[in-house]
Copies of this chain bind each other. A is one copy, B any other.
Amino acid sequence: MKKESSPKRVQSPELGENEGKYVELHGWVHDIRILGKLTFLIIGDPYGYYQAVLKGELAKKGSSIPRQSYVILRGNVVKSVSKINPYEVQVNYIEIVNEADTVLPLDPASKVQSELMTRINNRPLDLRDSEERKIFLMRADVLHIIRDFLTQNGFVEVDTPKIIATASEGGAELFKVDYFGKPAYLAQSPQLYKEELVLALGKVFEIAHYFRAEKSNTVKHLNEFTSVDIESAMMGKFDVMKILEELIKHIYSSLKAKGYQVNELKGNFPIYTYEQVCDSTGVNFGEDLSSEVLNEFGKDKEFYFIIDWPLSLKPFYTMPKGEKLSESFDLMYKGLELASGGQRIHKYDLLVERLKANNLNPESFAEHLKVYRWGMPVHSGWGLGFDRLMMVLTGRNNIREVVLYPRDSRHLAP
């Protein structure tokens, strides 16, 4: 690619350390200003913006480049009088790699944000706005922080199939796949696999896309979403709640250390029982807590847990607590459910009983049930809705803002 005579290629943040040098840069034309015989190009690259100054014939050439076109520039780096960019490039060579259309679906240089749907339908262009790009840089950073934290805490990363033969959670709606003529489904969670794997691996985690075929279009649901799942042998509900709380706090402090604008979380996450929430909101025992109820209950709270849900509201694998309750919890942020977990059943007979109580056929779960005959340990775990966590971390109110190419019942493309 690079000819031997090319000068050193640098990126926007490296201008300062190359003052006085002749360098090559590449990027897109973010904005153009013409002042007398000079053309000033504001060039964007994935790491920032800088100003390129063009004189004479080059000024003429530069002034007619369509915005967002991709260019290669060569020139000398000098101190700038601009307050925004302390350095600029005095260009003596410009090459247009690819010209952009003159009419674009959105303008990343505009201070007025386009409609969300326009932005999502043109996501790569939307990401040329550094504010939008920052969401996905943060997303990558948070995923890295989570993997490091869980690995350092002894969890082994696993990857389990996304094409499955049986519904893992029982009830919820599944996408159907034609698997060589056999009916199959897309996984809603790694629930059964991660439980099976604690048998020998002890502590496991998985981060992947999962699929739910629910047609409702809300600001907090997608049909394809990212989940962070853990499962651990010989832990109870409070043990895995502690790991989750420490993880969330670690994410905040790590992001702060990386220069992101997030608050530091202080104190322990409060714990409320389901029955306390019912008492405080007037909900009858056994009823699910609606968005309205949770928004009301959570309006003056940040992160908190709701524990000991009615057994009838939790999936079949949840460990009962007495007759009517379960060893379960949800992690909430204000009115938004972020994570859900608890202790699981580890005894074969009880698991069969709970499958039947949920009107599920134990024969459909034979491949899973057999593992409970091989010395299954006590175990607990949780699943964290990663896209929802990103909503909280970025302060965005629509889950589509934090997912590159969101999937809902109306959007299968781009």
Contact = CB atoms under 8 A, between A and B. Distances in A.
A233 B27 CA distance: 10
A70 B409 CA distance: 45
Contacts of A370: 105, 122
A69 interface: yes
Nearest to A126: B200
For the complex of A and B, 3 pairs with smallest distance between CB atoms: A1-B236, A46-B202, A127-B200
A239 B160 CA distance: 33
Given A98-B377, A413-B367, A160 B404 contact: yes
Contacts of A215: 180
Nearest to A372: B98
A273 to B, nearest CB: 18
A193 interface: yes
A407 B161 contact: yes
Q: How many copies does the complex hold?
A: 2
A224 B405 contact: no
A161 B208 CA distance: 11
Contacts of A297: none
A224 B347 CA distance: 31
A128 B375 CA distance: 11
A57 interface: no
A101 B370 CA distance: 10
Interface in A321-364: 346-347
Looking at chain A's contact residues, the main secondary structure is: mixed
Interface string A177-203: 111101010100000010011011111
Which of A2, A70, A72 neighbours the largest number of chain B CB atoms within 10 Å of its CB?
A70
Interface in A118-140: 122-128, 133, 136-137, 140
Contacts of A158: 136, 140, 404
A162 interface: yes
Contact of A404 (B159, B373, B374, B375): B159
18 contacts: A1-B235, A2-B236, A45-B202, A46-B156, A46-B201, A47-B202, A66-B375, A97-B378, A98-B377, A99-B375, A126-B200, A133-B200, A133-B201, A136-B156, A165-B412, A180-B213, A197-B404, A367-B413
A135 B104 CA distance: 50
B165 A374 contact: no
Contacts of A76: none
Interface string A20-50: 0000001011000000000000000111000
A253 interface: no
Nearest to A99: B375
Contact of A177 (B9, B72, B99, B176): B176
Interface stretch (A143-151, A259-267, A276-284, A391-399): A143-151
A213 B163 CA distance: 12
Nearest to A201: B46
B209 A162 contact: yes
A271 interface: no
